[in-house]
Amino acid sequence: MTRLAAFAAFALLVAGAASFAQESPGRRAPLVLGNDTVSIVHGDQPATLLLPKGKPPFPAVILMHGCGGVTANMYIWAVRLASWGYAALVLDSFGPRGIDTVCGHRSRFLPRERAADAFAAAAWLRQRPDIDGAHLGLIGFSHGASTALAASVERRIAALGVEPFKAVVAYYPYCPGIAPDLANDVQILIGSDDDWTPAQRCTDWLPMYADGSPHKPLLKIYPGALHVFDANAPRRVYFGHHLAYDAAAAADSFRMTRHFLDSHLKPASPHE
């Protein structure tokens, strides 16, 4: 799905949610269209920002897509995060660079290189008066999840001279074979039957961190779940790998992610 098509799906989702929430008997007033109510997204724009209802400044979460680029699921996640009280930034690492996919071509854009995009997005968010720059999180999916893990490495953060994220969530990453010091807490969510990013790699990775490590990752493995289990889409084969939605795993992962984010980004009022 192209970025514009994905955003169109996102716009329809938001519009549908808004119209449902405001629906009332009788005649409806026409929509108000103008510079403050219409977002124009171009294919070369690096990001899309969705702000939640309420009084700013808001804690914010950056969303990093998988190897196939921005999909409708990223915008569904943005709406989900906004409903939890977070500003959500959908970051497109590929479109502005003219990249359509890196699936099957991992070396085309390595996660450790792409991690710089996450920090650039964080720096931009911190300049905004409607964002609480002290409470920024990062969620990555597949290639974006591996990028999120790369953005958690202490030595990389020090080399770039940037601030670490307060919380990082990695959905089905390709877990590394080494255990570098991490600068922030990490939560990993993955399916036991994932044939693209094997859960066993994450199972083998965690023991490399001692129980007393300040940022030992948290790992949740969902029995029987496949790659992209959080995206409500038909079961399919993509680049030779099986993808499928798992409603139970998705719902539990949303609950865990909200609790994890709230406990790190909303310390004064964690979600129950």
Instruction: Express each pLDDT in 12-65 by its tens digit.
Output: 444 444 333 344 456 777 777 766 666 666 667 889 999 999 999 999 999 999
Instruction: Express each pLDDT in 102-120 by its tens digit.
Output: 998 877 899 999 999 999 9
- State how far the Cα of 103 lies from the Cα of 36, in Å rounded to an integer: 37
Cα 45 versus chain centre, distance: 18
Residue 250 CB neighbours (<10 A) = 18
* List of domains in the chain: 3-265 (3.40.50.1820)
Instruction: Express each pLDDT in 196-250 by its tens digit.
Output: 999 999 999 999 999 888 999 999 999 999 999 999 999 999 999 999 999 999 9
Q: Can you list the pairs that 265-268 forms with residues at least 24 positions away whose Cβ atoms lie under 8 Å?
A: 265/59, 265/61, 265/86, 265/135, 265/136, 265/137, 265/166, 265/167, 266/59, 266/85, 266/135
- What are the backbone dihedrals phi and psi of residue 63, each rounded to the nearest 5 degrees, phi first? -110, 130
pTM as predicted: 0.88
Q: What is the pLDDT of residue 12?
A: 47
Q: What is the amino acid identity at position 41? A: V
